[in-house]
Structure 1
Amino acid sequence: MPDRPRYMISVAAELAGMHPQTLRAYEEKGLVRPARTPGGTRLYSENDIERLRLIQTLTTKLGLNLAGVEHVLRLEDELRRLRARMERLEAELRQEIHDTHRQYRREVVLYRPPKPPATQR
């Protein structure tokens, strides 16, 4: 389950190749939202780690500042939501088509031409 919170900040920072303070700064700016234990400890999921790696790529390899990163992440999140919605709608449409076809099969009556009248002798 990639969205299950499991890594404390030190482990998450190591996995993402960043300093823990960088993760705190990214959280403060709203770029990443780790879960919290009842005691307040940050817990990062695999999805959070991937997001941190994306942030690192955007800043180091593409040279974006954090405002640009924020914009890209917002677009990525919107794209993910739209894809999920599209998949839901496609599944609903497939089910509707399936139900309609099944209904047609129940209503279809085979045509049998009438038998010609018997000839009288």
Structure 2
Amino acid sequence: MSFDKAYCEPVYLISEVASILDIHPQTLRQYEREGLVLPSRTSGKIRQYSQENIDTIKSILVLTRVDGINLAGVSKILDLEKKVLDLESKVEEYEVKIKTNLSNSKALVVKKNQFEIIVFE
């Protein structure tokens, strides 16, 4: 998944994010310690959050407050969501390769379990 540069650009300070989301800055520090959100740092070690970080924090808040999931569970969910996105991009990549191969060849044989699929042009 690709986002535009502005979405990933770190521009918000911790106090601004805490104010926007109506949470304590210490909560944001805890999320960082847990590895759930990784804000950028300035040369002076000041945290800067992107819109992407804010959206992730919103997801964390929903999972913890609404769904009652602890931070360890949230970490697993976020990891699984990332894996799903990675797999979806790989599927898209392979679909392009298959379409390219189909246009260059007469037949494609794919063995799946005990069945063979033959596609003719």
1:82 matched to 2:87? The reply is yes
TM-superposition CA deviations, 1:42-67 (whole Å, max 9, x none): 11111110110011000110011111
Instruction: Name the one with the larger strand percent.
Output: 2
- State the SS of the aligned residue for 1:2: helix
TM-score, structure 2 length as denominator?
0.72
For structure 1, which runs of at least 5 residues remain unmatched after alignment?
102-121
Summarize the alignment of residues 42-121 of structure 1 with structure 2, pairs less than 5 Å apart. Answer: 42-94=47-99, 96-97=100-101, 100=104
**Identity of matched residues, %:** 39
The more displaced of 6-15 and 54-63 is 6-15
Measured on the aligned residues, the alpha-carbon RMSD in Å equals 1.9
For structure 2, which runs of at least 5 residues remain unmatched after alignment?
1-5, 106-121
Q: Give, in whole Å, the separation in 2 of the partners of 1:65 and 1:20.
A: 19
Task: Check the 8 A contact 1:7/1:45 in 2, yes or no.
Answer: yes
Summarize the alignment of residues 29-40 of structure 1 with structure 2, pairs less than 5 Å apart. Answer: 29-40=34-45
When residues 70 and 6 of structure 1 are mapped into structure 2, their CA distance, relative to the original with a 3 A threshold, is same
**Match in the other structure for 1:22:** 27
When residues 39 and 75 of structure 1 are mapped into structure 2, their CA distance, relative to the original with a 3 A threshold, is same
Q: Give, in whole Å, the separation in 2 of the partners of 1:4 and 1:92.
A: 33
TM-score, structure 1 length as denominator?
0.72
When residues 5 and 98 of structure 1 are mapped into structure 2, their CA distance, relative to the original with a 3 A threshold, is farther
| Structure of higher CA gyration radius | 1
1:8 matched to 2:13? The reply is yes
Q: Which amino acid counterpart does residue 21 of structure 2 have in structure 1?
A: A
- C-alpha displacement at 1:18, in angstroms? 1.6
